[in-house]
Amino acid sequence: MGKFYFFLWLGWAYKLSLDSIVISILITSIITFLTYAKLGFVSLDQDVLNALFKVFKFYFSFVFSIILLVVLFRSIKYVFNKCIHGYELKLLSCDQQEIIENIGYGDLLRVWRKWIILLIWLVAICMIVTMFNFFNIYALYISLLLSGYISFVIMISKCKKIKVIRC
């Protein structure tokens, strides 16, 4: 069962990281390009490149913060109905009698709300332990990834709409 939790978390962390970083880079690149276009496509010398890099760096953390929340909601859908080391995570219907095979985002709202509150508490505990020494979006992201593992273990054991079955 330990391998199941680890590889469930690893797949979730990979998808969360890849999606949030790639989407943030794309959006930030568009913002940087639009900034360059607004300048009138001046010639690219070292000063202009440094300025564009600073614009990219500034907007990346802001865009990453917003995209991370969106991807966090989307990522929970992909942990269900995948066989991992002989176990599979299933989402149950509201009456908790039947398994939902085709999960929509509307089916996830109750589970996601519980999960996000649990993640907030776990990340807060993680940030308190580190004494807020390096509080920025990147430290928060690492805390989120670490808390994600614990949150899966707690949610699966406490949430009645989630069930682990053998596959």
Gap between the terminal Cα atoms of the chain: 13
pLDDT in tens, the chain (167 residues): 788 889 999 999 999 999 999 999 999 999 999 999 998 888 888 998 999 999 999 999 999 999 999 999 888 888 888 888 888 888 887 776 788 888 888 888 888 888 989 999 998 888 787 776 667 778 888 888 989 999 998 988 888 888 888 88
Tokens of residue 145, six digits: 């990834």
pLDDT at 93: 78
- Contact assessment for residue 127 and residue 143, using Cβ atoms and an 8 Å cutoff: yes
State whether residue 101 is helix, strand or coil. Answer: coil
Work out the angle at residue 156's Cα, subtended by the Cα atoms of residues 152 and 157, and round it to the nearest 5 degrees: 120
Instruction: Give me the residue spans of the domains in the chain.
Output: 2-166
Segment (H or E) for 83: strand 83-84
